[in-house]
Structure 1
Amino acid sequence: MPKSEDDIDLDGVLNEIGQFGRFQVRQYGLMIIPIIFNALFTLSYVFTAGNLDYRCKIPECDDTVTSYHPAWLNNSVPFKNGVPAQCERFRLIANTSLEDFYCDADAFDRSTLAECSDFVYADDEVTIVKDFNINCPHNDWKLTLVGTVNNIGQFIALPIAGYLSDRFGRRLVLLLSVAGSAVFGILRSYATSYEMFIIMEFLDPAIGSTMYTTAFVLALELVGPKMRVSGNNVISCAFSFGEAALALFAMFFRNWRVLLKIIYIPGLVSLPLLWMTSESVRWLLSKGDREKAFGILKKAAKMNGKSLSPAAIESFYPNSEKDSASEELGNAGFFSLLVDAFRSPGLLLRVANCSFCWLTNVLVYYGLSLNSVTLAGDKYLNFILVSLIELPGFLIMQLILDRVGRRATLCTTMLLCGLFCLLAEFIPTENTWLSLIMFLVSKMAITMSFGTLYIYTVEIFPTNLRQSLLSVCSMFGRIGSMIAPQTPLLAKLWSPLPMVIFGGMGITSGLAILQFPETLNIQLPNTVQEAMSMNTDDRNNKDRDQLS
């Protein structure tokens, strides 16, 4: 029977050229750039569409230069929990003379309320709330809709981008996603209406949504099995620093138009640098293009100060019979491969389980991030803390993931996250520091789970469908991120509801994960048959023996 490119022991070749040498460091250095951009772009709406503190403007009392909390304010507007009403004021008594008007209590009818038409803001921060007059609680849906529309764009684009990536290559899709996202982000900064802003908010992720997954796959497919956890943590830490950088930029550039220009213009500037990215060797092999794949590996070996063995070189120069088989497989229709894959009930169940796990992880991860700005205290500091708490989570992953395995780590972290989310509701509201600590511990647990899930998803699916199936799972994850911006509204129905939902789904998904196979130290599967054979202990033992 003729052999195909799947018979090349790529993980063995990576061992020869170095699992994480100078070549991989260079590749990761380049991939960190779009990963940081993705963090900045994906969550920018937290601050561009963030709500503001404002109150009714009292034309009879507010001077040209207004004070947010003047001494007479209690006479003119109702207060709730020590906070002035945003959209209501006491009606001015009709026979009150404006001459020598001192805004005292006798000038207002405290039994009658009137709606406000103008507003005074607490500080100089400018979001779309101020520019597009999205004031008062009945307009809150317009703000939460921004995040949902952003994630609808990702939901629609991810499967398309996954197909394009598996069909035409990771590198091309990465360049297009960074360029497209940057263009629509810059255009959004010039929006003249809420409607124009929303359209640009949709088009940005619709083009750039695959930025993270493509960069992740491009980086991870070029490292050996023993370095996948370290490689994953490099990518994940870059994303966390990107999130923290977003809050810092928002803290210093408090106008949403300026903020968008600051974070999106570097995306266009980076394109010549990203052009230097190497294409995925595994993708080239799956397409039967051994020559280009061998050229990249030769370059990697030279840069790492290594050399390829005669056996490895020979595997890239097969006889004509092998060439014919490789060409036939490389030209196989993508959709026919996908249809054949889904004829496997086991793979179909794996995709469904993985998709639910993604939905839960994304919902809880982004839900906790978005709800952090509603916690007591400085919203920028809270967001930075919730971002940086991910770093110790990655450190713990580095220590345990290659010791206890993927399945046990993913299951345990999901269960712990669910438990912490539920326990957070038993903490008294006045104990803000303990609430913040429990919030941070929950975020650290879901971060460990999310980081493990990315590695796991890459390892349980075959090369020729890897990014497409990763995109399918990620697409279902976007359902979670579409719901996440609405969770602050759920708290208005019942304050514990968001955390109860996070906790319940976390525990359920943690138990469902036990149906996955263990993938510790295995070679990445190239075919559906290899991916499904990971359920057997013999396959795992064989791969461990090869790597020992």
Structure 2
Amino acid sequence: MNYYDEVTAFLGNWGRFQKILFFILCASVIPNGLGVLSVVFIVDNPKHHCSIPDVNLTEDWLQAIIPIEVSCIFAIVSAFFAFILVYLHVVLWSKDLKGHRLTWLRTDHPDWDYFGLSDQWKQPFTSTIYFVGVLVGSFFCGQLSDRFGRKPVFFITLGIQTLFTFLQVFSTSWEMYSVLMFFSGLGQIANYASAFVLGAEVFCGNVQTVYTTAGVCLGFSTGYMLLPLFAYFIRQWRFLVLAIALPGAVVIPLWWITPESPRWLLSQGRVEEAEAIIKKAADMNKVKAPSVIFKNYKVDHGNPRQYTVIDLYRNREMRLPSIILPLTW
């Protein structure tokens, strides 16, 4: 048992304070899961037939002559008879599509994501842009939370994710949507990492283990599972994006009841603030706190050393885990 766990043992592991914070942090990562796969439902070409007003065919004949494709032009030139029948329609082709009855099709679909045959790369590339944002965010979120605190970074990155997801509602082009997705991904990973670290530092004992291995992951998975449900009932894409953004906006007001990490405050020499949080937690758990909690804690008022990610590889005990974990992710 380390120093912090020992002096805060009087709180217990699962009081009212821990229960409320556990729920808040797990719920806060639900928007992370909602946004990750949103591109599947927003930027997608639903399978369709080209609309050929002059040809009145049954469904079976239509499928045989003009197969369902993601590109109208490709479908036409891929069938010889269809090419003869609708040669003039190829020249005058427009975005007049007929959705197949077995294919999901929103009542309102972004005009800019009906990609032609030469633009099919844009669909997977949109996901790549999102995860490039995730990669960029993962580089600096740890350094920011070490410098400014877990709580500020947690809520600021949640705000970034929520804001840029909301702005996707006003997307008028694929380029605009992709840029907004980049910043959504950046905020997503930084928010998730901050929530993970904040809970890991506040909780102790078995609760800490459950939170870091299951709790925060279940919150993220809940977002995964809610996204298809949202997409099934919300067929207009702008309202779907709005539904993805709103849960983050609901979490932001929880700033006033979410504490800073006492461990981080101690590392910064802010002992009084750390004790105030522990005493408030003791009141919530209905236990009596000592008048001085961190009485043997020594504050270094000199110039403390600033650690970086390089120090993980300098330490013999941390070197191997620091190599293995990025590879597993």
| TM-score normalised by the chain length of structure 2 | 0.84
The farther-off stretch of 174-183 and 299-308 is: 299-308
Partner SS, residue 216 of structure 1: helix
Report the CA distance shift for 1:345/1:134 in structure 2 as closer, same or farther (over 3 A).
Answer: farther
Q: Which amino acid aligns with 1:283?
A: W
Match of 1:344 in 2: 315
**Correspondence for 1:272 among 249, 253, 265:** 253
Contact 2:10–2:289 (CA<8 Å) still a contact in 1?
Answer: yes
* Aligned-residue offset at 1:25: 0.8
Partner of 2:62: 73
Residue equivalent to 2:152 = 172
Residues 149 and 201 in structure 1, CA contact (< 8 A), matched pair in contact too = yes
Are 1:121 and 2:102 an aligned pair? no
Q: Closer, same or farther in 2 for the Cα pair 1:32/1:290, shift >3 Å?
A: same
Partners of 2:219 and 2:43 in 1: CA distance: 24
* Cα deviation, residue 192, structure 1: 0.5
Give 1:228's aligned amino acid: Q
Q: Structure 2: where are the runs of 5+ without partners?
A: none
In structure 2, give the amino acid aligned to 1:211: N
2:61 aligned with 1:89, yes or no? Answer: no
**C-alpha deviation, 1:251, in angstroms:** 0.6
The 5 A counterparts of 1:91-110 are: 109=84
Cα drift, residue 38 of structure 1: 1.0
Give the C-alpha shift of residue 270 in structure 1.
Answer: 3.1
1:127/1:145 CA distance change after superposition, 3 Å:
farther
Cα distance between partner residues in 2 of 1:345 and 1:127: 57
Shift of 1:266: 3.6
Equivalent residues of 1:125, 1:255 under 8 A apart: yes
The total of aligned residue pairs comes to 319
Q: Distance in 2 between matches of 1:239 and 1:91?
A: 43
Specify whether residues 242 and 74 from structure 1 end up closer, same or farther in structure 2 by C-alpha distance, changes over 3 A only.
closer
Q: Give the match for residue 139 of structure 1.
A: 119
What is the aligned partner in structure 2 of residue 243 from structure 1? 224
Aligned to 2:203: 223
Q: Helix, strand or coil: the match of 1:132?
A: helix
Instruction: Compare 49-58 and 159-168 and name the one that shifted more.
Output: 49-58
Contact residue 173 and residue 214 of structure 1 kept, 8 A: yes
Which residue number corresponds to residue 389 of structure 1? none
What secondary structure does 1:155 align onto? Answer: helix
Cα gap change, 1:85/1:197 in structure 2, threshold over 3 Å: closer, same or farther?
Answer: closer
CA distance in 1, matches of 2:211, 2:23: 11
Separation of aligned partners in 1, 2:16 and 2:225: 28
Match of 1:32 in 2: 26
Q: Structure 2 counterpart of 1:89, which letter?
A: I
Measure the CA separation in 1 of the matches of 2:160 and 2:70.
42
Q: Which residue of 1 aligns with 2:172?
A: 192
Q: 2:69 and 2:231 mapped to 1: Cα distance?
A: 26
The equivalent of 1:281 in structure 2 is: 262
Residues in 1 aligned to 2:118 and 2:148: alpha-carbon distance in whole angstroms: 46
1:428-458 deviation digits (Å, cap 9, x = unpaired): xxxxxxxxxxxxxxxxxxxxxxxxxxxxxxx
Mapped partners of 1:217, 1:92: distance in 2: 57
Cα distance in structure 1, aligned partners of 2:59 and 2:183: 43
Residue 295 of structure 2 corresponds to residue 356 of structure 1: no
Partner Cα distance (1:9, 1:74) in 2: 71
Aligned letter for 1:11? D
Corresponding residue for residue 277 of structure 2 = 296
Aligned-partner Cα distance in 1 for 2:139–2:50: 46
**1:20 is aligned to 2:14:** yes
Q: Work out whether 1:153 is the aligned partner of 2:125.
A: no
Q: Pick closer, same or farther for the CA change 1:308–1:9 going to 2, 3 Å.
A: farther
2:281 & 2:131 partners in 1: Cα distance?
A: 37
Native 8 Å contact 1:58 1:76 kept in 2: no
**CA shift digits 1:164-206 (9 cap, x unpaired):** 1011101101111111111111111110011111111112222
Deviation at 1:108, TM superposition (A): 6.8
With over 3 angstroms needed to count, the CA separation of the structure-2 counterparts of 1:156 and 1:276, relative to structure 1, is same
Among 169, 191, 196, which residue is 1:211 paired with? 191
* Aligned alpha-carbon RMSD (Å): 3.2
CA deviations 1:503-526 (Å, max 9, x no partner) are xxxxxxxxxxxxxxxxxxxxxxxx
Compared CA separation, residues 272 and 298, structure 1 to 2 (3 A): same
Report the secondary structure of 1:120's partner residue: strand
Deviations 1:111-133 (A, max 9, x none): x99966543223541686x5214
How far the C-alpha of 1:225 sits from its partner, in A, is 2.1
> How far off its partner does 1:74 sit?
4.8
- How far 1:60 sits from its partner (Å)? 2.5
- Find the aligned partners of 1:179 and 1:92 in 2 and give their Cα distance: 50
Evaluate the alpha carbon distance shift between residue 75 and residue 43 of structure 1 in structure 2; reply closer, same or farther with a 3 A threshold: closer
Checking the alignment, whether the CA contact within 8 Å between 1:164 and 1:173 is kept in structure 2 is yes
1:159/1:151 CA distance change after superposition, 3 Å: same
**What corresponds to 1:260 in structure 2?**
241
User: 1:456-503 CA deviation, whole Å, 9 max, x = no partner?
Assistant: xxxxxxxxxxxxxxxxxxxxxxxxxxxxxxxxxxxxxxxxxxxxxxxx
Counterparts in 2 of 1:343 and 1:296: CA distance versus 1, 3 Å: same
Displacement of 1:220 after TM fit? 2.3
Q: Give the Å deviation of 1:141.
A: 1.6
Q: Provide the identity percentage.
A: 30
Are residue 317 (structure 1) and residue 295 (structure 2) matched?
A: yes
Instruction: Provide the C-alpha distance between the structure 2 equivalents of 1:29 and 1:92, rounded to a whole number of angstroms.
Output: 57
1:41 maps to which of 21, 35, 43:
35
Q: Provide the C-alpha distance between the structure 2 equivalents of 1:256 and 1:204, rounded to a whole number of angstroms.
A: 17
The answer to whether the 8 A contact 1:14-1:222 is kept is: no
Aligned to 1:517: none
Is contact 2:46-2:105 (8 Å) kept? no
**Given residue 7 of structure 2, which amino acid in structure 1 is its aligned partner?**
V
Q: Higher relative contact order by CA 8 Å / sep ≥ 6: 1 or 2?
A: 2
Q: State the TM-score, normalized to the length of structure 1.
A: 0.53
Partners of 1:19 and 1:224 within 8 A in 2: yes
Letter in 2 for 1:120: K
Q: Deviations over 1:253-294 (max 9, x none)?
A: 122211011121342343222332100111111112111111
